[in-house]
Amino acid sequence: MSSVQGRGTPGRAGVMLALATIGFAVNFWAWALLSPLATRFTAALQLSSFQQSLLVAVPVVVGSLGRIPVGALTDRFGGRIMFPLVSLATIVPVLYLGLAGHDSLAAILVGGFFLGIGGTAFAVGVPFVNAWFPPERRGFAVGVFGMGMGGTAISALTTVKLVDAGSLRTPFLITAVVLAGYAVTAWLVLRDAPNRAVPATPFTARLGATVRLRITWQAAALYSVAFGGYVAFSVYLPAYLKNAYGLAQADAANRMAGFVLLAVLMRPAGGWLADRIAASRVLAGSLAVVVAGALVQSFTPGLAPLGTIAFLGMAAALGVGSGATFALVAQKAPAGQVGSVTGVVGAAGGLGGFIPPLVMGSIYGSYHSYGLGLALLAVVALAALALDLLSVGRNREAVTA
């Protein structure tokens, strides 16, 4: 595919990018509704630390694995169809959880399972945005789209307040209305890029070709640490701060929102830097910061100032690393397989966020300390840094644009 195909005017490309980013944020807002209420459900239902972790992790794993088929479907049918479809499908579990499915752990897990659909919106947006921009701007454009992960911050800042001001159903009803509004707007306004690459081969053949690409597995491993770390902190940080530092629920949620917002703001910076210097170098710097921050925080220092510096440093690094990883995908994945590669890589990132809350909950339940869990994060980030330095920077897989 030539560098001019798949692009319209810059102004229209900007509009499509803005609408895709809003759609990502709205769906991520819905995807993260359970996390701010986890401590409330824990108290009301007398859940263990592991059960609390499971409650917030189930939407993550479903939203992650669902990105594989959704990314492939986006390659085939385009974002103009898939964005409204994913948004409408997410309304069902949102209404279920708000109106009926919150009186037992089993009911919440069922709702959380289907709430994971909202997390698949990421695999819709990356190929959609990628097709609208030339290769030299894709890192930044995909990074801007990635700011939609700030939908988790909307949830963190508003969910508990809306419950306190109204009832448990209030945030779920509001989110359902916003999702419906976005689905209608997307159907009316969104358009796929002219002459976008549409694969003609079956899904299984495309998936097979995707998993044989070296960039798929390299990016998946890196994203499982970069975005996985972000997801893990965004869903588990309130519980961590409450248990480790005794913070009130609202205070912990606000601090988590600050972590999320910084990571969100740094994601376009990661894509922008990757457009200008080697993405592997950007990733190396961000992973080194994560290693240092996790090691410092494993000793549970005081929040003021060392703990705050460690967490904010990791937030910035995880945002930069996430943006740089998908700049790498946009630059190196074949044009007709961007959605499929995004699905696999996005699934790895989400799964990277699914495991740490379970590990942290189990470790805290056994030792009443999170130190070992954070030390493990440092080890994993160090392994990713080694992969980046020894393999990714040497990858010369063909780029098609």
Q: What string of H, E and C letters represents the secondary structure of the chain?
A: CCCCCCCCCHHHHHHHHHHHHHHHHHHHHHHCCCHHHHHHHHHHHCCCHHHHHHHHHHHHHHHHHCHHHHHHHHHHHCHHHHHHHHHHHHHHHHHHHHHCCCCCHHHHHHHHHHHHHHHHHHHHHHHHHHHHCCHHHHHHHHHHHHHHHHHHHHHHHHHHHHHHHCCCCHHHHHHHHHHHHHHHHHHHHCCCCCCCCCCCCCHHHHHHHHHCCHHHHHHHHHHHHHHHHHHHHHHHHHHHHHHHHCCCHHHHHHHHHHHHHHHHHHHHHHHHHHHHCCHHHHHHHHHHHHHHHHHHHCCCCCHHHHHHHHHHHHHHHHHHHHHHHHHHHHHHCCHHHHHHHHHHHHHHHHHHHHHHHHHHHHHHHHHCCCHHHHHHHHHHHHHHHHHHHHCHHHCCCCCCC
Position 9 scores a pLDDT of 67
334: left (phi over 0), alpha (psi -120 to 50) or beta: beta
Query: Are the CB atoms for 345 and 243 separated by under 8 Å?
Result: no
Mean pLDDT by 10 residues, the chain (401 residues): 47 92 95 86 84 82 86 89 96 94 88 92 90 84 86 86 90 96 96 83 81 89 89 80 85 84 89 87 95 94 91 95 86 77 84 78 82 91 93 55 38
Cα separations in angstroms, 92 against 97, 114, 137, 180, 195: 9, 8, 36, 11, 34
Position 318 scores a pLDDT of 95
Position 384 scores a pLDDT of 94
Position 228 scores a pLDDT of 82
Residue closest to 197 by CA, chosen among 3, 397, 371: 3
Alpha-carbon span 139 to 324, nearest angstrom: 7
Q: Letter for the amino acid at 128?
A: F
User: Could you tell me the residue ranges of all domains in the chain?
Assistant: 10-394
Position 391 scores a pLDDT of 82
Position 380 scores a pLDDT of 93
Give the architecture (CATH level 2) of 10-394.
Up-down Bundle (1.20)
